[in-house]
Amino acid sequence: MNIINGKEIAAELRMQLKEKVEKLKEKNIHIGLAVIIVGDNPASRIYVNNKKKACAEVGIESFEYALPAETTQEELINLIEKLNNDKKVNGILVQLPVPKHIDDKAVINAISVKKDVDGFSHNNMGKLATGDYGLLPCTPAGIIYMLKHEGIQIAGKHCVVIGRSNIVGKPVSLLMLDENATVTICHSKTPNLKYHTLQADIIISAVGHAKLVTADMVKKGAVIVDVGMNKDENGKLCGDVDFENVAPKCSYITPVPGGVGPMTIAMLLNNTVKTCEQEN
């Protein structure tokens, strides 16, 4: 059994990005990422701080816009329009969730398709669905990057994705299809989840349900990617997979924490560098 160390893979990718950023700076090209946070969600604040720290590490300038919770949708979209036209800004990210009175879809689709480093806009999602990639959603892109980094074969394999969100489940299914896997998508209304997972060569779980995937649901030698972030009965961070009991059956498995999480931020930086390179 091999544990896929997302921390190490992400650190390696950040080093490569740092070199790219330095080469761009030599040509007097500077990269900027605008991060917008609305309200004071403590989890969002942690994510934003981590993103800013990662930007600093690779030499990307980050511009933070911390807006009060009562900010109107119109005010937020006006700010996005301003950043769309700002030459210093290569990527724009709105930290989700936004307060309930704001329509997150309208906000995300207001971001210029060239600066949508989260890859969530309808335009970039449409490109993903047709295989004509624009900017890819960070977590799904990070998953593919990890699998390839470990030399895991995807083509011809049966992949079961648990979860159908627009952030992970749907886009990662499309990416796996594009890598020539046979893909089954399961969700809360799927009867007999175990029937499907037992046939899987690769299982990607992204539902946010602690220890949903147990050892009796996994065939020997399967590859497990755990995207869940949950707390167990002792308040300890855990994934969707019962790691302790499932790991011995796997050929490869991602831990929580230290698996998919670090890759998400690394792919955000990757997207930001990509937008700058495309523009120049």
In which element (H, E) is residue 67 found? strand 61-67
Beta bridge partners of 92: 34, 116
Q: In the chain, pLDDT over 90 holds for what percent of residues?
A: 95
Given the residues 20, 51, 157, 211, the one annotated as active site: 51
pLDDT, mean of residues 147-168: 97
Angstrom CA distances, 222 to 75, 215, 251, stand at 48, 11, 6
Contact between 154 and 178 (Cβ < 8 Å): no
CA-nearest of 137, 153, 219, 149 to 4 is 149
pLDDT at 88: 95
CA-nearest of 204, 212, 214, 218 to 263 is 204
Q: Report the alpha-carbon distance of residue 194 to residue 75 in Å, rounded.
A: 47
Query: Could you confirm whether 240 is annotated as catalytic?
Result: no
- Tell me the chain's radius of gyration from C-alpha atoms: 19
Contact between 160 and 202 (Cβ < 8 Å): yes
Contact between 23 and 276 (Cβ < 8 Å): no
Q: In the chain, pLDDT over 70 holds for what percent of residues?
A: 100
**Band (78; pLDDT cuts 50, 70, 90):** very high
What is the DSSP secondary-structure string of 123-189?
HHHHHHHTT--SSPPHHHHHHHHHHHHTT---TT-EEEEE---TTTHHHHHHHHHHTT-EEEEE-TT
**Band (97; pLDDT cuts 50, 70, 90):** very high
DSSP class of residue 248 equals G
Q: Report the alpha-carbon distance of residue 159 to residue 155 in Å, rounded.
A: 10
Query: Could you confirm whether 51 is annotated as catalytic?
Result: yes
Report the CATH architecture of 28-112.
3-Layer(aba) Sandwich (3.40)
Sketch the domain layout of the chain as residue ranges. 28-112, 138-261
Q: Which tokens is 244 given?
A: 């302790």
In which element (H, E) is residue 224 found? strand 223-226
pLDDT per position as a tens digit, 125-147: 999 999 988 899 999 999 999 99
Report the CATH architecture of 138-261.
3-Layer(aba) Sandwich (3.40)
The Cβ-side half-sphere exposure at 122, using a 13 Å CA radius, reads 6
pLDDT per position as a tens digit, 196-245: 999 999 999 999 999 999 999 999 999 999 999 998 888 899 999 999 99
Residue 16 backbone phi and psi in degrees, to 5: -65, -40
Contact between 248 and 216 (Cβ < 8 Å): no
Note the residue count of the chain.
280
Same fold, 28-112 and 138-261: yes
Given the residues 20, 116, 118, 170, the one annotated as active site: 118
Q: Tell whether the model's pLDDT for residue 183 goes beyond 90.
A: yes
**Band (7; pLDDT cuts 50, 70, 90):** very high
Q: Report the alpha-carbon distance of residue 44 to residue 147 in Å, rounded.
A: 28
pLDDT per position as a tens digit, 241-260: 999 999 999 999 999 999 99
pLDDT at 150: 98
Burial class, 77, CB count within 10 angstroms (exposed 0-12 / middle 13-18 / buried 19+):
middle
> CB count, 10 Å around CB of 196?
19
Q: Which amino acid is at 16?
A: Q
CA-nearest of 153, 157, 159 to 183 is 159
